[in-house]
A and B are shown apart, each in its own frame.
Chain A
Amino acid sequence: MKIEELRAGDELLYSGEFLVMRDAAQKRLKKMIEENEEIPVSLDRAIVFYAGPAKPTKVSFGAIGPTTSSRMDSFLEMLYMKGVLATIGKGKRGPLSATLCRNYKRVYFLAPSGAAAALASRISDLTVLAFEDLGTEAIFRTQVKDFPLYVAIDSLGNDVFTLNRR
């Protein structure tokens, strides 16, 4: 996947690895970075999926799906500075995010929201990497296959939510 070739509105099926993290983990990472502590995961070349999984079953790693990305806007530049390639979530982000995507040549994907049982079948691993005490808000690594994504903001800063509003 060539990040810079993607355009707002493109749909694709992705197979590979995501780093799963959301509000609480990013708040904690930010504090660690501000206090010059070493963070417990590498964000270099990572694709960050804003999500908090439900509990696993005997046959499934559990229901999973995107949470609202705009809540994580204030952490986006921190992620890009640490080498994150793309973020995945749901909903329109604030205007700062499109600017950051353009400046850092990064993209923001949507994953289908409210499709957690279907997405569970595209996941083949879910391992806690850090902050286990946060429960569903810990940092996880997951392997996905044919995971549906939609480009909401491309590396030129085009935002599908702004384009759609005509």
Chain B
Amino acid sequence: MISAEEITGILGEAISRANTEMDPEIVKLLDLYEGPFSRVLKENAVAAKATGLPICQDTGFLEFFVFQGNEVTLEEPIVETLNLTVKKVYTSEPFRYSMVSDPLLKRENTGDNTPAICHLFPVRGNKLEVRFLVKGGGSENLSRLFMLNPASTVDEVVYTVVESIRESGTRGCPPLKIGIGIGGSSDKAMILAKLALTRSINEKHYDKEYAALEERILKDVNDLRIGYQGLGKGITAYSVHIETYPSHIAIMPIGLATDCYIARKGRIILED
């Protein structure tokens, strides 16, 4: 049996780290950037790690992807443990509480950054894998769902994604990481787009044709020359990640999700 304490300890540390330490691959790219605010951005990466202050004041909401093996027994329901972990990290670190309880009428801050968004995927085996995104609101507002015609071509899919980034890319703190969910249903496509963001920026699709499509969209997005901070200098996107699922004959859902230039994420794996 995996205890709630074990999950909270390991996962909590990973969430803290995601908020204060930039991914080394992303720091490497940031080092290459010369343009508006380049000095302060580089200073920031060092300062956050040294002081324990978050890289960004928007310390986001937590989006979890839980892959629970059928041989795994948990002490507590996983969603409770995940929310407890978020509460523990956010109330003890100098992060921000960004969640409001009622989304429309009251919008009262919950005061501990819960609840998290949790997606559960039952799988075989004796492992519990938890992937997470620390997702800021700015990049989240770039999310889109396109219900394309089922006869749409690859060119139309590329066009749809690239035009969406052209329109709103400056608002998501570029360079962006782009997740695309193709197929399933409307909701499934969006979850796939988010799941795609849990991959590392160098992790291509296992299928060569989809990997080539990722490369093609990345090139077209970078040709937009939106750049760091939206000011035209440096790359516009780090990577494009596609996830797919079978779909109904009458539909072709395209989910689009983006992450900001910090692309905060993590992954833990525990064995029962």
Give which listed residue, A11, A90, A118, contacts B171 with CB less than 8 A: A90
Once the chains are docked, how many angstroms separate the CA of A121 from the CA of B41? 13
Q: Mark A20-57, 1 if CB is under 8 A from B, else 0.
A: 00001000000000000000000000000001111111
Total CB contacts across the A-B interface at under 8 A: 140
Q: Is the CB of B96 within 8 A of A54?
A: yes
Give which listed residue, A59, A70, A148, contacts B37 with CB less than 8 A: A148
Q: Is the CB of B52 within 8 A of A90?
A: no
User: Contacts A54-B57, A63-B56 known; A117 to B51 CB distance under 8 Å?
Assistant: yes
B141 contacts A by Cβ under 8 Å:
yes
Once the chains are docked, how many angstroms separate the CA of A161 from the CA of B166? 11
A6 contacts B by Cβ under 8 Å:
no
Q: Is the CB of B36 within 8 A of A114?
A: no
Q: Which of B80-88, B150-158, B207-215, B224-232 lies on the face that meets chain A?
A: B224-232
How many whole Å from B57's CB to the nearest CB in chain A? 4
Residues on the B chain within 8 Å of A119, using CB: 40, 44
Give which listed residue, A51, A115, A135, A164, contacts B231 with CB less than 8 A: A164
Q: Is the CB of B94 within 8 A of A161?
A: no
Residues on the A chain within 8 Å of B47, using CB: 117-118, 120-121
Residues on the B chain within 8 Å of A114, using CB: 41, 44, 55-56, 173, 260-262
User: Contacts A63-B56, A112-B40 known; A150 to B94 CB distance under 8 Å?
Assistant: no
A143 contacts B by Cβ under 8 Å:
no
Among A51, A116, A150, residue most surrounded by chain B Cβ atoms (within 10 Å): A116
Q: Is the CB of A117 within 8 A of B111?
A: no
Cβ-closest chain A residue relative to B260: A114
A60 contacts B by Cβ under 8 Å:
yes
B69 contacts A by Cβ under 8 Å:
no
The size of the chain B interface, using a CB distance under 8 A, is 42
Chain A, interface size category, equals 35 or more
Q: Is the CB of B262 within 8 A of A150?
A: no
B143 contacts A by Cβ under 8 Å:
no
Q: Is the CB of A60 within 8 A of B109?
A: no
B89-145 contacts to A, CB under 8 A, are 93-98, 107, 109, 111, 137-138, 141
A87 contacts B by Cβ under 8 Å:
no
Q: Mark B30-50, 1 if CB is under 8 A from A, else 0.
A: 000000110011011001100
Q: Is the CB of B232 within 8 A of A164?
A: yes
A–B complex contacts, Cβ < 8 Å, 25 sampled: A54-B94, A55-B94, A55-B96, A65-B56, A67-B137, A68-B138, A68-B171, A90-B173, A91-B170, A91-B230, A110-B229, A112-B37, A112-B44, A114-B41, A114-B56, A115-B37, A116-B57, A117-B20, A117-B51, A118-B47, A119-B40, A120-B51, A148-B40, A161-B170, A161-B230
Q: Which residues of B contact A (CB under 8 A)?
A: 20, 36-37, 40-41, 43-44, 47-48, 51-59, 93-98, 107, 109, 111, 137-138, 141, 170-173, 225, 229-232, 260-262
